Amino acid sequence: MNQAIEKVSSQLAFGGQQIRFKHQSQVLNCEMQFSVYLPPQAEHRAVPAVYWLSGLTCNDENFSSKAGAQRVAAELGLALVIADTSPRGEDVADDPDGAYDLGLGAGFYVNATEAPWKAHYQMYDYIVDELPALVEANLPLNQQRAISGHSMGGHGALVIGLRESKFSSISAFSPICHPTSCPWGQKAFGNYLGEDKASWRQYDAALLLQERSSAPPIMVDQGTADNFLEQQLDTEALIKANQLSGSGAQIRYQQGYDHSYYFIATFIEEHLRFHASNLN
């Protein structure tokens, strides 16, 4: 896949570069933007990458500006590849009522099969295939990869990491663990994937994990003061799946933390060190 990328902006950070790019996506059939942090080590050699998937309403800049991840990434020699959360553009379908949990900003990292979504909403293939091929062809990245994310992006990271062997470790903050049984997931899957609920199972982390006899290293952090915990996130379903599979995932409740980027900023260093230990 030989595609060009165009630099939109670049800033120095901790001796490395925080860069935003745009490109014409063949998979999503629209122009996309993504961000990359290249640590200072990338000036001399190809480096491994942690792919970050953001949550509902976010784009590729939320994590880079709020998580404070660049300092540790620079120390560890990790690139950060930060994707957008959905296809974008005037021709891309959106929720007709303007809801935040469907359409633009809410791709849910699935391959849509239903009209009008299927023309653009192929976010699973974009994250798994197109984006890694693109950045590895154009930037000093090797083929060592980890994946992480928050909320909807935590769901995406868990599902993709469990299904795809190209990612050596998985982590998540406040993930939607059991989307087939929560309002966010049911709305998104019903629209993107249709009424056949059997097809939804391939995008449900709790269901995927409970069927595994082994899994890559996994770290999950969930705040106890998260206002979405009970209705949308269902961390207990992931804990039960982990127990059934014996996969050894680290699933941790963090007392008093909420759903915000303050939570992510507090624990992102532990997550990056976790990935670095498995990448190296």
Catalytic-labelled residue, pool 120, 178, 259, 271 = 259
Q: Indicate the residue type of 1.
A: M
Catalytic-labelled residue, pool 151, 169, 171, 247 = 151
Is 165 considered catalytic here? no
DSSP one-letter string for 71-90: HHHHHHT-EEEE--SS--ST
Torsion angle defined by CA atoms of residues 88, 94, 97 and 101, in that order, rounded to the nearest 10 degrees: -80
- Residues 226, 233 contacting (CB under 8 angstroms): yes
Is 234 considered catalytic here? no
Q: What stretches of 22-151 show up as alpha helix (H) in DSSP?
A: 61-66, 70-76, 123-125, 131-138
Catalytic-labelled residue, pool 25, 226, 234, 271 = 226
| Tokens found for residue 254 | 């963090």
Task: State whether residue 181 is helix, strand or coil.
Answer: helix
Catalytic residues: 151, 226, 259
